[in-house]
Amino acid sequence: MVELTAKEIERLNQAATLVRDQAYAPHSHFYVGAALLMDDGEIVVGCNVENASYSMCLCAERVAVSTAISSGYRSWRAIAIASLGGVTPCGACRQFLSEFGFDLAVVTTDVIDGAYRIHRLDQLLPEAFDASHLPGHTS
């Protein structure tokens, strides 16, 4: 797993917590912010965006990744997720994150007390489906 410095963790947590304030969650009132640490040290953020049709909701993690991709990035070192309780990513976000590699530090932060935990993506999504499972894929 990627090693993070205390300063990197602090920067990520701060960015995720700040962008959480921009979340649009009028239905669940569960606000989430995410911050990706790029290989070059830049931070790209995203927040959750809900819709009355829940299946149309966008999770903060996927918004952050989509923003990073739109900005030309294809890899990153870590993601921090700020929420009540410091929850881990949902299954869809775990799968989405895995598309870009399993060597990813996932920092989950409780916005109430600032407590955080660091996970490895491959531990959060064991035996994941990936491109190697697709017909005709060569590694």
Answer yes or no: pTM beyond 0.85. Answer: yes
Q: What's the chain's average pLDDT?
A: 96
Q: Which of 8, 61, 99, 127 is catalytic?
A: 61
Would 48 be classed as within a structural domain?
A: yes
Is 16 annotated in a binding site? The answer is: no
pLDDT of residue 138: 67
Q: What's the CA gap between 73 and 139, in Å, rounded?
A: 22
Number of structural domains in the chain: 1
Residue 78's DSSP bridge partners are 37, 105
Quickly state the pLDDT bin for 130 (edges 50, 70, 90): confident
Residue 21's closest CA among 1, 2, 38, 46? 46
Residues 118-128, mean pLDDT to the nearest whole number: 94
Residue 82's closest CA among 113, 58, 121? 113
Is 50 annotated in a binding site? The answer is: yes
For residue 64, the 8-state DSSP code is H
Would 135 be classed as within a structural domain?
A: no
For residue 116, the domain's CATH number is: 3.40.140.10
Would you say 22 and 12 are in contact if contact means Cβ atoms under 8 Å apart? no
Would 115 be classed as within a structural domain?
A: yes
Our answer to whether residue 61 is catalytic in this structure is yes
- HSE of 86, CA atoms in CB hemisphere, 13 A: 16
Tell me the residue range of the domain where 57 lies: 6-127
